[in-house]
Structure 1
Amino acid sequence: MQIEAGELLSKINQPADLKSLGELQLEQVAQELRQYIIDMVSENGGHFAASLGVVELTVALHYVMNTPYDQLIWDVGHQAYGHKILTGRRDSFETNRVMGGLSGFPKRSESEYDSFGVGHSSTSISAALGMAVASQIKGESDRQHIAVIGDGAMTGGMAFEALNHAGIEKSNLLVILNDNCMSIDPNVGALKEYLTSITTSKSYNRFRDDIASLLAKISEIGPDAFGIIKRWEKSIKGTLLKNANLFESLNFRYFGPVDGHDVIKLAKTLEDLKHIPGPKLLHVVTVKGKGYSLAEKDQTKWHAPGLFDKITGEIKKSIPTKPEAPKFQDVFGHTLVELAEQNKNIVGITPAMPSGSSMNIMMKAMPDRAFDVGIAEQHAVTFSAGLATQGLVPFCNIYSSFMQRAYDQVIHDVALQNLNVVMCLDRAGVVGADGPTHHGAYDIAFMRCIPGLTVSAPMNEEELRNLMYTAQLKDQGPFVIRYPRGKGVMPDWKRPFQALPIGKGRKITDGEEVAILSLGAIGNEAVKACQLLQQEGIFPAHYDLRYAKPLDQELLHEVFTKYKRVITLEDGCLQGGVGSAILEFMVDNNYHSQVKRLGIADEIIEHGEQEVLWEVCGYDVQGIVKTVKNMTTAIRTDTMTG
């Protein structure tokens, strides 16, 4: 279906075209932009509610600011669809999140208007401050630097670190706080309550309506007058709010809250703020999903709903013809509750991803034992460590790519103290359309080098349950369980728990000539490959390692004694991964087999469907079949020539 842009939007190929419009036409542009996003996402999928909430802000920013010279950073990039459409990517937007097409997030290599790549939250203020300081050094005093950050992303510690630093600089920095009380799930914590107190203070809101324009005029008189009015305004703000303004205390000029859906008022406010020097914060109140009633009512569901009927709101899902396997995340969520019912010491922790990780299942069943700590991965790990010192067993569920942000805490706060924190890494391996910012490519490599950690990966849902059961047994120490995005392979997954011996794998299929050693759910591709090969008279052995650390040495001695050709298979990076661990074992034990490692090569993997990315990386079913055949042919050639 061909999706047409509206009358005005169809003529906007770059922000300069937007600037040629009259101020009163901005409302029509916003309406057309919102409808275009609804049309596009309903037909092609992608993130939805976040971009709808900032349509007016996006239009106002590109109308007032001189982008790309003025540098605009979106934190997180879920909200940047309107930005992409207004900056020359309207006609290619149907390729959003499709392999070879537009990235779902701002990306520097994609457009000069994407000032900074953003896939993980809370980075925008640091990046914008770096750009602003660079502009100072280069003498670009007229250049604006704008970070648009959601109130969910503002809970990340990095955002506060950046605010703290920015407050002592004199750089031309504007932070726009997009306050909608939502990230993916509803926001939690004291910051949410603080922002609510600002937005609901009637006296303060009457006062702030006049102060922004007054400051803009005063700033034109001179620095002395500006300093006097600043001190006067700060005093009155503190009185009206009955406490000091958090952002003012960090030396930011605070403006707001303003209606984030009044595009004309936003444009006027931004024009005024351009002329006020130093670090500034504009507090904008928006509604996530604005303009699509169903998304406004259920913002979590409509964060990324998939394909849907834009008229009825029916989300399009295929109807299974037979029982389907569940998602790994749901097996985690239900199993955690089951274990917590048996073990009163189990608690659950997630950094702002209760629905994405299925921690919401425990939060509903046991609200006093499950914690959403906000977008704060470092805190989540050390909070878990604190719980563990008191005899509790925390299951800390963090996406693999987000765990990268808490690496020091894993080493310093968990491993060095040998605490029984169970780190469940969801979305391990390639994740699909979210692309390189979200691929869980590195966790095997960066976890297996830490002394004292157990690093495991289930091949199926039953193994996930059993690894979770094993991890909470007494004195297990730090325990990592990695599992992929999406569905498993076992519709009949809920089986009795069994403890799995630490560092012990299993033989799935005996064979001859070649052995495949797989780790985790990608091993199911090896099962399919073995079935195809057997039809051609080729019989590779297949072993499920289960553990990247400690390795099953008895199993490996068996493999290297019997097989001269070995294939390792992992949904993770080859540099330092489980294949590297097996090569280390082979060398240390003086074996001389030929080893071929299959996994993610030393390169950035772009976005695309998981199965397609497996093929690109060479470890899908056909890639495994090809590798086995090549090795088998080499063996038989050697035998004939020998």
Structure 2
Amino acid sequence: MKQTPLADPRPADIKGPEDLRAMSPGEVRRLVPEIRRLLVDTVTRTGGHLGPNLGVVELSVALHRVFESPRDAILWDTGHQSYVHKILTGRAGDLGTLRRRGGLSGYPSRAESPHDVIENSHASTVLSWAAGLARAHGLRGERDRAVVAVIGDGALTGGMAWEALNNIAAAPGRPVIVVLNDNTRSYGPTAGGIAEHLAALRTGTARDHLFESLGLARLGPVDGHDITALETALRHARDLGRSVVVHCVTEKGRGHAPAEQDEADRQHAVRPLAPGRPGGDGSPSWTAVFGRELARLGAERPDLVAVTAAMLHPTGLTEFAGRHPDRTLDVGIAEQHAVTTAAGLALGGMHPVVAIYATFLNRAYDQLLLDAALHRAPLTLVLDRAGVTGDDGPSHNGMWDLSLLNTVPGLRVAAPRDAATLRRALREAVAVHDGPTAVRFPKGTTGPDIPAVDTVRGVDVLRRGELADLLLVSVGAMGGTCLEIASLLALDGVGVTVVDPRWIKPVPQALVELSLGHRLVATVEDNGRAGGAGAAVAQALGDAGAPAPVRTFGLPQRFLDHGSRAEILESAGLTAPRIADTLAAALLYSRAAAAPAPLPVPRPPVPGSAVPPH
């Protein structure tokens, strides 16, 4: 009797890795294209990291068939390649909520699943996590639990990965299985000597093997799209009983023609197709404005050098690199090295511009403090995605940079409010020759320019109030919000002067003097309140003996869930109506406090009691 062929398995049918392990090899082979179809259909609608996940479909399937998550820990570096892992651990039905408020995170999330062991979204850290976890298993006598760290070849350009490998090799009793996902790319092609060594391993022309010279076993290269070969190699690695590198060669964007043909970043990340996304006013992105202005400056200034940490295209350096390839330096995912290399370039007579995301500045704080600032090196940091970025989640909100930058002696910081002030700030920053500078701007589009009605010694006045009730200090991209706040308060008869210092560190003396004529000063920023621009203004006014109290509005100092920028600002209370209500109440209270106290009215004496003396 002829058998009815089994229906093609669907990703939504997988409630956990055990369902995957129960499948026959034929069912698994039919599942793979269904997963790719789901990724393309969903991520092109929601937005997210499409290319990296298309490249790890077979690898993710093989990992979950060989290892028993979550007892065996599967750790991802970086976590943006974990969408397939989410599907295989029972979250396919929720993939349509990816990066939406209340939906799936674009990275591993411990709140979502026990299979998400760490919330890893910054590169080059997973091997340190794995080393610590494997040591903990050993100390607890748990010898039957594997620790698997999946790391992209781009992440091996970060120094922390090599610090971890050095220690993993020295701990033979605590084995770590390092799965090297070698797709020759991070955002763009992987830079540096590590990439060249891996290329030699792929072609069989390597004269020695770097990993083996460290004392690690090595398996591969293995075809990362051959599930049978992958499962064989991973089982071998599991049974070795020692730390091993499994070298898997994959193709970023595999199975999706637009990604395979895109040589820039293989559709590393795609925007959602939903209507209403930023840019409806036709304004350019902040990144594009910076990139074009830097390219113009590069033609004028032969001493300018652009430095990127594996993010040439995302940080807007493409045009500069095209015009000045000899003055463009990609150091890989190595922000610490980028900043100190820039300090060396500065000491050698060049003016480097280091373009990184604001959240990644956290990793190079020591280098900024003790290499750049201590040596008064004339370099410029350009911090893209400063403030609320939204859908990438808590690790990518650039809400820490001002708090860090405010502690660095001699550093000047600009926060432009629009495209015109960004171009101006960049030119002013690279003109500084006696120390480091920084220019920060948010994700998204610039919106229309906001002209100043006056300028007081470098401080732009965006609106003058008829009454000296409130001095409202706008920080960076909050200019439009501050003008809306002023308009709302004006309806209640409150006089508001809105100013934008543009250069917010150090606090301009003119800002201190402007505050002297107002009853209340308020600052609005999308940095964390602790140590941010508002805190610096309050300290400067206090040091100067300014009598006006200061109210600071910014982000709460906590990790913010993913969502749109507007949703996060609203949840943090950083909307014009909320701030206007708070300030109206504060001004009402200050008026009442300033009013003369009424004279006491003598009470009539109680019969039979003595009248108290006056």
Tell me if TM exceeds 0.5: yes
Alignment partner, residue 249 of structure 1 = 213
Alpha-carbon separation, structure 2, partners of 1:491 and 1:520: 12
Alpha-carbon separation, structure 2, partners of 1:97 and 1:583: 36
1:389-468 to structure 2, matched below 5 A, reads 389-468=347-426
Contact 2:35 2:57 in 1 (8 A): yes
Alpha-carbon separation, structure 1, partners of 2:294 and 2:59: 41
1:287 aligns with 2:251: yes
1:133-532 to structure 2, matched below 5 A, reads 133-170=135-172, 171-201=174-204, 241=205, 243-298=207-262, 300=265, 302-307=267-272, 324-473=282-431, 475-490=433-448, 504-511=458-465, 512=467, 513-532=469-488
Alpha-carbon separation, structure 1, partners of 2:278 and 2:358: 30
1:539-578 to structure 2, matched below 5 A, reads 539-559=495-515, 561-578=516-533
Contact 1:306 1:316 in 2 (8 A): no
Contact 2:351 2:378 in 1 (8 A): yes
Unaligned runs of at least 5 residues, structure 1: 202-240, 309-314, 494-499
Name the aligned partner's letter for residue 507 of structure 1.
V
Does the C-alpha gap of structure 1 residues 376 and 275 become closer, same or farther in structure 2, counting only changes over 3 Å? Answer: same
Q: If each structure's helix is expressed as a fraction of its own residues, which one has the higher value? A: 1
1:42 aligns with 2:41: no
Name the aligned partner's letter for residue 462 of structure 2.
I
Does the C-alpha gap of structure 1 residues 449 and 491 become closer, same or farther in structure 2, counting only changes over 3 Å? Answer: closer
Does the C-alpha gap of structure 1 residues 625 and 273 become closer, same or farther in structure 2, counting only changes over 3 Å? Answer: same
Alignment partner, residue 236 of structure 1 = none
Q: Which is higher, the Rg of structure 1 or of structure 2?
A: 2
Alpha-carbon separation, structure 1, partners of 2:88 and 2:143: 26
CA apart distance, 1:626: 2.2
CA apart distance, 1:295: 0.9
Residue of structure 2 aligned with 1:631, choices 574, 582, 586: 586
Name the aligned partner's letter for residue 270 of structure 2.
P
Alpha-carbon separation, structure 2, partners of 1:492 and 1:526: 11
Does the C-alpha gap of structure 1 residues 489 and 288 become closer, same or farther in structure 2, counting only changes over 3 Å? Answer: same
Name the aligned partner's letter for residue 94 of structure 1.
G
TM-score, normalised to structure 2, is: 0.91
CA apart distance, 1:317: 8.5
1:47-66 to structure 2, matched below 5 A, reads 47-66=49-68
Name the aligned partner's letter for residue 38 of structure 2.
Y
Contact 2:78 2:122 in 1 (8 A): yes
| CA deviation vs aligned residue, 1:358-414 (integer Å, no higher than 9, x gap) | 011101111111111111101110111111011101011111110111111101110
Alpha-carbon separation, structure 1, partners of 2:297 and 2:93: 51
CA apart distance, 1:492: 11
Alpha-carbon separation, structure 1, partners of 2:60 and 2:524: 45
Does the C-alpha gap of structure 1 residues 329 and 141 become closer, same or farther in structure 2, counting only changes over 3 Å? Answer: same
Name the aligned partner's letter for residue 193 of structure 2.
A
Contact 1:430 1:441 in 2 (8 A): yes
Does the C-alpha gap of structure 1 residues 448 and 363 become closer, same or farther in structure 2, counting only changes over 3 Å? Answer: same
Alpha-carbon separation, structure 1, partners of 2:448 and 2:291: 16
| CA deviation vs aligned residue, 1:101-149 (integer Å, no higher than 9, x gap) | 2111012232210111111001111101110111111111111101111
Q: Secondary structure at the match of 1:403?
A: helix
Alignment partner, residue 588 of structure 1 = 543
Does the C-alpha gap of structure 1 residues 526 and 321 become closer, same or farther in structure 2, counting only changes over 3 Å? Answer: closer
Name the aligned partner's letter for residue 549 of structure 1.
K
Name the aligned partner's letter for residue 361 of structure 1.
E
Alpha-carbon separation, structure 1, partners of 2:323 and 2:572: 40
Alpha-carbon separation, structure 2, partners of 1:98 and 1:242: 45
Contact 1:24 1:264 in 2 (8 A): no
CA apart distance, 1:553: 1.9
CA apart distance, 1:307: 3.1
Name the aligned partner's letter for residue 558 of structure 1.
L
Does the C-alpha gap of structure 1 residues 141 and 318 become closer, same or farther in structure 2, counting only changes over 3 Å? Answer: closer
Q: More deviation in 483-492 or 119-128?
A: 483-492
Name the aligned partner's letter for residue 284 of structure 2.
P
CA apart distance, 1:243: 2.1
Alpha-carbon separation, structure 2, partners of 1:545 and 1:492: 13
Moved over 6 A (4+): 315-321
Alignment partner, residue 610 of structure 1 = 565
Name the aligned partner's letter for residue 47 of structure 2.
G
Does the C-alpha gap of structure 1 residues 6 and 132 become closer, same or farther in structure 2, counting only changes over 3 Å? Answer: same
Alpha-carbon separation, structure 2, partners of 1:604 and 1:242: 45
Residue of structure 1 aligned with 2:79, choices 65, 71, 77: 77
Unaligned runs of at least 5 residues, structure 2: 1-6, 598-614
Alpha-carbon separation, structure 2, partners of 1:193 and 1:617: 46
Does the C-alpha gap of structure 1 residues 565 and 78 become closer, same or farther in structure 2, counting only changes over 3 Å? Answer: same
Q: Secondary structure at the match of 2:260?
A: helix
Name the aligned partner's letter for residue 191 of structure 2.
V
CA apart distance, 1:336: 0.7
Q: Secondary structure at the match of 2:322?
A: helix
Q: Secondary structure at the match of 2:93?
A: coil
Contact 2:218 2:245 in 1 (8 A): yes
Identity of aligned residues (%): 37
Alpha-carbon separation, structure 2, partners of 1:382 and 1:279: 33
